Amino acid sequence: MSEELKVERLRKVFSVGRPAIDDVSFKVAAGEIVVLLGPSGCGKTTTLRCVAGLEHPTEGIISIGKDVVSAPERGILMPPRHRNIGMVFQSYAVWPHMTVRQNVAFPLKHRKTPRGETNKKVDEALAIVGLSEYSERPVVALSGGQMQRVALARSLVYQPRLLLLDEPLSNLDAKLRLRLRDDLRRIIKQTNVTAIYVTHDQAEAVVLGDRIGVMRDGKMLQLASPQDIYNTPADLFVANFTGASNQIDGKVIERSGNEGLVETKSGERLRATLPAALQTGSPVKIALRPEAIRLGGGGDTNIFTAKVADCRYHGTQTVYDLAVFGGKLEALELGTEVRYPVGSEVKIALPPSLLWGYAANETSGSE
């Protein structure tokens, strides 16, 4: 049974420092997966712990389905065990002295479920996570990825109203992480449980989330589909954190529609997408993805010449550091062939729709 989660004006202040969560509101529809994405310390885990009831919010309302589970202003605080929420953490959190089956059956035993029904539900949960053949093995004889599947089966077996996952793939090696990442989405969708998934890894967020909520300093900056986050980041931080790592500083010298002409600090003029608030004369920071830079040129807008300052392999891609506009831009190309050697000059094209201007007083978080 999946239910909607509603978080309204959530605030959490620990005894010292700025609020860990500062007026955060969002909904997760029944059966939806929302990923909370952001750098360390932005408040993802605290949000999750408030929903679980492991942390007491300072203000705000949290509801699951029709139940208000937390509303400190009204004296409501439902204990975690009554919320019927499944949780999977970074650490495997399995009981080492038990078999796989005993681990998964534990929550049902705790709920005094009849034996026949327990066996049936455990078999179903193990089949979903692909561990049917391992049911009688001691859990310590499994790999990290398999242990995490046990933890997942154990938190799904009692059909929770909500599933919360906090960086569940962090302790796995790269290959396992990719495999379980793809499986996780399939498993969560198959069980139709409403889920919140916390991570600082944008690739994980894109694969897993129906929507992604990007957080910074206790605030939710943008909550949207992976496509919208990727194509129209709401601000410079979201752009930067989700991969638009290049930045060009300049000044707006002309506007038309949602585009405009920007003069860089070194005097070049380029056409970029600009928000309505940025008027002629405003200082601007342009964000762009490394993959937005067309090496070799193409088209007739925003064509420049850059010098290759460095070149390195990133797995199946070649990354170039380009000296241009009095600074550095990173560009990448699929393949491992070096088409532009260090020291050579290369033509680049920058499509205006992929150059996103933001007010220069915004910070990307990387400066």
Q: Which CB atom, from 6 or from 219, has the smaller least distance to ligand ATP?
A: 219
**Residue of the chain from 7, 37, 44, 105 that contacts ligand ATP (CB under 6 A):** 44
Q: Is 314 exposed, middle or buried (0-12, 13-18, 19+ CB in 10 A)?
A: exposed
Q: Which CB atom, from 39 or from 65, has the smaller least distance to ligand ATP?
A: 39
CB of 50 to ligand ATP, least distance (A): 9
Q: Does 214 bind ligand ATP (CB under 6 A)?
A: no
Number of CB atoms found within 10 A of residue 78's CB: 16
Q: Which CB atom, from 197 or from 304, has the smaller least distance to ligand ATP?
A: 197
Q: What gap in Å lies between CA 158 and CA 86, rounded to an integer?
A: 8
Q: Which CB atom, from 219 or from 328, has the smaller least distance to ligand ATP?
A: 219
By DSSP bridging, strand 21-28 and strand 5-12 are: antiparallel
Q: Which CB atom, from 44 or from 285, has the smaller least distance to ligand ATP?
A: 44
Q: Which CB atom, from 37 or from 286, has the smaller least distance to ligand ATP?
A: 37
Q: Which CB atom, from 38 or from 145, has the smaller least distance to ligand ATP?
A: 38
Residue given tokens 């860990």 in the structure block: 20
Interface mask toward ligand ATP for 223-252; x: CB under 6 A = ------------------------------
Q: Does 20 bind ligand ATP (CB under 6 A)?
A: yes
Q: What gap in Å lies between CA 221 and CA 214, rounded to an integer?
A: 6
**Residue of the chain from 40, 256, 316, 361 that contacts ligand ATP (CB under 6 A):** 40
Q: Which CB atom, from 45 or from 264, has the smaller least distance to ligand ATP?
A: 45
Q: Taking CB under 6 A as the criterion, which residues in 153-212 touch ligand ATP? A: 200
Going across the sheet that includes 294-295, the strands are 294-295, 345-349, 303-314, 317-324, 327-334
CB of 44 to ligand ATP, least distance (A): 4
Q: Which CB atom, from 170 or from 317, has the smaller least distance to ligand ATP?
A: 170
Q: What gap in Å lies between CA 43 and CA 220, rounded to an integer?
A: 9
Among residues 292, 295, 309, which one has the least CA distance to residue 344? 309
Spell out the SS3 assignment of 176-202: HHHHHHHHHHHHHHHHCCEEEEEECCH
Q: Does 14 bind ligand ATP (CB under 6 A)?
A: yes
Q: Are 260 and 358 in contact (CB under 8 A)?
A: no
DSSP state string for 247-269:
EEEEEEEEEETTEEEEEETTS-E
Q: Is the dihedral of CA 239, 242, 244, 248 positive or negative?
A: positive
Q: Are 38 and 214 in contact (CB under 8 A)?
A: yes
**Residue of the chain from 32, 33, 34, 46 that contacts ligand ATP (CB under 6 A):** 46
**Residue of the chain from 41, 72, 130, 351 that contacts ligand ATP (CB under 6 A):** 41
CB of 20 to ligand ATP, least distance (A): 3
CB of 58 to ligand ATP, least distance (A): 12
Q: Does 56 bind ligand ATP (CB under 6 A)?
A: no
Spell out the SS3 assignment of 315-349: CCEEEEEEEECCEEEEEEEECCCCCCCCCCEEEEE
Measured CA angle at 215 (ends 209, 352), to 5 deg: 80
Among the listed ranges 34-42, 109-117, 181-189, 347-355, the one in contact with ligand ATP (CB under 6 A) is 34-42
Among the listed ranges 44-52, 70-78, 178-186, 291-299, the one in contact with ligand ATP (CB under 6 A) is 44-52
CB of 3 to ligand ATP, least distance (A): 24
Q: Which residues bind ligand ATP (CB under 6 A)?
A: 14, 20, 38, 40-46, 200
